[in-house]
Amino acid sequence: MVQEKKISNSSGKEVLATLVAEGGDPAAIVDREGLAQISDSGELEAIVAAAVDANPEAVEQIRAGNQKAIGAIVGFVMKQTKGRADGGEINRLVKEQLDA
């Protein structure tokens, strides 16, 4: 499921721990615990837009060429999605929004 990007690495560890402790079906655990990764760009666009608005200093740093500043925006999105967002998709959306 991690390789298929259905869940994140951290969610994979959580599923594995649950499997060891309780057994069961990995897909059922993902559904029950709400661990499915958010990779739908439509859903993420609004969260990324809020993150960009909430981090004007990071936006200015990114526009000035400091690509490491994108971490503040990615961190905001991850916090909002409880770590379920696809990091690559977040980066793509941030760059897309800042280029517009």
Same domain, 48 and 80: yes
Residues 59 and 87 in one domain: yes
> Is the same domain home to 82 and 45?
yes
Give pLDDT, residue 40: 72
Is 78 strand, coil or helix? Answer: helix
This prediction's pTM: 0.73
Specify the pLDDT at position 76.
94
pLDDT, position 59: 93
Q: What stretches in the chain show pLDDT beneath 70?
A: 39, 100
So what's the pLDDT on residue 58? 93
Pair 45, 24 in one domain: no
What is the structure's pLDDT at 100? 58
State the pLDDT at residue 72. 93
CA of 6: how far to CAs of 10, 15, 28, 87, in Å?
12, 12, 13, 13
Domain, as residue range, for 15: 1-37
User: What's residue 34's pLDDT?
Assistant: 87
